[in-house]
Amino acid sequence: MVCVIELDDVRVRLGQREVLCGVTAALPERRVGVIGANGSGKSTLARLLNGLVLPTSGTVTVLGDDTRRHAARIRRRVGFLFTDPDAQIVMPTVAEDVAFSLRRRKLPREEVERRVADILERYGLAGHADHPAHQLSGGQKQLLALCSVLVLEPEILVMDEPTTLLDLRHSRLVADVLRELPQQVVVVSHDLALLADFDRLLVLDEGRIVADTTPRAAIDHYRKLMS
């Protein structure tokens, strides 16, 4: 089987702390979840997957490329959604922010406008296209950030707690989106319901993978760990 994401004895040291201590995993599944306590290294693991964080030792291979050598190319192929949508929205209005993602593609203007309109329509933001982004609710901002990532059609989508700021309805919307996305997704979350039907779940604890199994078994393990 072709492994889309491969981590080989990855260690990450940030400042004085060893944040990840020897993580090895091959992740070919379409939907992979990561859970674990606060500070266990989940965000660091997610950031490794598109080269935002580089391993201190060991290698991270994504779509056949080493993140240490091909960070720019990997970032074009791996979309990343952060927890805080405010930091991801860079343009003043909704449609402009989505269009901004496409800038470097050098597409004709009509093509850009069509793609932007399509994606805003799909995620229920069409009515807000020309609204200032700061007037959206937190959930709508997260959807906008998602649109701005998905419009680039990444081959892998990595999300760090995408539903933390969302209400139940918007969380479900994101869950539905995840279910239908054709690409591979890796989701870090404390929202166990979101990950319940994933193909595989990793449990991190103090920088190590302590369980790597089906969601049901992983969640049980995580509950015991937390009690």
Partner 1 sequence: MNGLTGAYVPGDSPLHRLPAGAKLAGLAALCTVLVLLRAPVAMAVAALVVGVLFAVSGVGAAAAWAQVRPVRWFAVALFVMQVVFADLPSAITSVSRVVLAVALAGLVTLTTRTVAMMAFLERCLSPARWVGLDPFRLSLLLSLTIRSVPVMADLATRVREAQRARGVEWSVRAFAVPLVVSALRHADALGEALSARGLDDHDEGTGHAAP
Ligand X SMILES: Nc1ncnc2c1ncn2[C@@H]1O[C@H](COP(=O)(O)OP(=O)(O)OP(=O)(O)O)[C@@H](O)[C@H]1O
**Sites of contact with partner 1 (CB under 8 A):** 50-52, 54, 67-76, 79-80, 82, 84, 86-93, 96, 99-101, 104, 130-135, 148-149, 152
Could you say whether residue 43 binds ligand X (CB under 6 A)?
Answer: yes
Q: Which of Mg ion, partner 1, ligand X, none is residue 227 near (CB under 5 to 8 Å by kind)?
A: none
Count of residues touching ligand X (by CB under 6 A): 12
State the angle between helix axes of 168-180 and 138-150 in degrees (0 to 180), rounded to the nearest 10: 10
State the number of CA atoms in the 13 A half-sphere of 58 facing the CB.
21
Q: Regarding beta strands 17-27 and 78-81, do their DSSP bridges make them parallel or antiparallel, or are they unpaired?
A: unpaired
Could you say whether residue 162 binds ligand X (CB under 6 A)?
Answer: no
Instruction: Give the residue, chosen from 4, 36, 43, 55, that forms a contact with Mg ion under the rule CB under 5 A.
Output: 43
Q: To the nearest whole angstrom, how small is the minimum distance from the Cβ of residue 16 to partner 1?
A: 19
Could you say whether residue 15 binds ligand X (CB under 6 A)?
Answer: yes
Could you say whether residue 189 binds Mg ion (CB under 5 A)?
Answer: no
Taking a C-beta distance cutoff of 8 angstroms, is the pair 178, 29 a contact? Answer: no
Planar angle of CA 181, 182, 186, nearest 5 degrees: 65
Q: To the nearest whole angstrom, how small is the minimum distance from the Cβ of residue 53 to partner 1?
A: 10
Q: Which helix (H) or strand (E) holds 209?
A: strand 208-213
Q: To the nearest whole angstrom, how small is the minimum distance from the Cβ of residue 19 to ligand X?
A: 4
Could you say whether residue 87 binds ligand X (CB under 6 A)?
Answer: no
Q: Which helix (H) or strand (E) holds 188?
A: strand 184-188
Taking a C-beta distance cutoff of 8 angstroms, is the pair 80, 64 a contact? Answer: no
Q: Which residue has the tokens 């309805």?
A: 169
Rounded Cα gap, residues 123 and 147, in angstroms:
7
Instruction: Give the residue, chosen from 19, 125, 147, 173, that forms a contact with ligand X under the rule CB under 6 A.
Output: 19
Nearest one of 76, 88, 99 to 154, comparing CA atoms: 76
Could you say whether residue 40 binds ligand X (CB under 6 A)?
Answer: yes
Stretch that binds ligand X, among 13-21, 64-72, 125-133, 214-222 (CB under 6 A): 13-21
Q: To the nearest whole angstrom, how small is the minimum distance from the Cβ of residue 96 to ligand X?
A: 30
**Which residues contact ligand X by CB under 6 A?**
14-15, 17, 19, 36, 38-44
